[in-house]
Amino acid sequence: MPPSDLPDDAARVLSADKAAVSRALNLVEDRRPEAQTAVTELLAALKDAPKAAGGHRVGLTGPPGVGKSTLTSALARSVRRGGRTVGVVAIDPSSIRSGGSLLGDRARMSFDPSDAGLFVRSLATAGEVGGLAYAANSAVRVLAAAYDMVVIETTGVGQSEIDIMHVADTVVLVVQPGSGDVLQFLKAGIMEIPDILVVNKADQDELAQRAVADLRGALQTARAVGATGGRDAGWEPPIVATSATKGTGIDELIAALDGHRKHLEATLATRRRQGEVQWALDLFTRKHGEHGLSTLGGAAQLQARAERDLDDGETPLSLCEHLSREYVAALGKTP
């Protein structure tokens, strides 16, 4: 895509023209060095989109098999019925052996193909072992410029449960009854992350009630040691029981999401900026480790630098790229 098309295409993204949104997503997925200028320009052009500032970025995470895709589908349909537009980023793992992936989410979703207010893009993790897809952060920014709500559905394994914090305004952790997952989350410190908890597949009343009770207990334990509410001590994560297949509890989930979004109003810009800083540094640290951090002056200094650079129009990806180059150059100078 020649850069001269950008302003026009960016304008079309803002008006949620599906062809333009799709092209923009193709561009941010493009890993070629020669494409990066265009990516940066596009994201800069979309940065101050009215939808982006007022919108809501929701991350759905939780272990494989809890019904995240079906829940995403039910949530998107209900939000659409309420009049808001929705963009979905569904992430599936890439095969380590072949580099390929099976993006199966659409199979679980039933959407009206003529609906101009709903857009679903599947992304493969592509080398980000256990984490979000390479382009997830940028894809969310593209969709946030075009749609009122953006839902990011993670693979639910490993690093992705942490990464989602840096991308989403609201993190929803999905579990299913009788799975024993809650204990694992407590151990792994994952209870610190979610802003909302969902017990999906709550068709079997007794089991579901027990799961809700378990979660409530787990939250209390976590709260006692000061490890809840994710990034926000003033927020008590609500617990919602849903059945995505029967469509029950979805309205309650939307109400909880809206409640959290409202709660964030004053701090949203800061939260998003922190997320981007963190994501850029995480990417860099994953590539170059502690040695990378210390070579470039340590975590605190890099953090301040990241905040500045992001203000100047860098994206987390391009920033990470620049830091990498500086690190490699620095390595060359070390005797």
Longest dimension (CA), the chain: 67
Least Å distance between CB 113 and other proteins?
4
Radius of gyration over alpha carbons of the chain, in Å?
A: 20
The tokens of 72 are what? 């995403």
Least Å distance between CB 110 and other proteins?
6
Q: Among 284, 335, 334, which Cα is nearest to 309's? A: 284
Q: Which is nearer to other proteins, 176 or 278 (CB)?
A: 176
Instruction: Give burial (CB, 10 Å; 0-12/13-18/19+) of 162.
Output: buried
Residues in the chain: 335
Q: Which helix (H) or strand (E) holds 124?
A: strand 118-124
CA distance 230 to 239: 14
CA distance 146 to 319: 24
The tokens of 5 are what? 């098309």
Least Å distance between CB 120 and other proteins?
6
Residues that bind other proteins (CB under 8 A): 18-19, 21-23, 25-26, 29-32, 35, 65, 92, 94-95, 97-104, 106-111, 113-114, 119-122, 124, 126, 203, 245-247
- Tell me how far CA of residue 173 lies from CA of 13, 122, 211, 304, in angstroms: 30, 20, 13, 30
Q: Which residues, in sequence order, are bridge partners of residue 241? A: 199
Least Å distance between CB 75 and other proteins?
16
CA distance 295 to 326: 10
Q: Which is nearer to other proteins, 104 or 189 (CB)?
A: 104
Q: Which is nearer to other proteins, 126 or 268 (CB)?
A: 126
Q: Which is nearer to other proteins, 99 or 289 (CB)?
A: 99
Q: Which is nearer to other proteins, 21 or 293 (CB)?
A: 21
Q: Which is nearer to other proteins, 87 or 194 (CB)?
A: 87
Least Å distance between CB 261 and other proteins?
25
Residue whose pair of structure tokens reads 């494989």 in the numeric block: 64
Least Å distance between CB 248 and other proteins?
11
CA distance 149 to 178: 31
Q: Which is nearer to other proteins, 216 or 246 (CB)?
A: 246
The tokens of 126 are what? 């592509």
Least Å distance between CB 121 and other proteins?
6
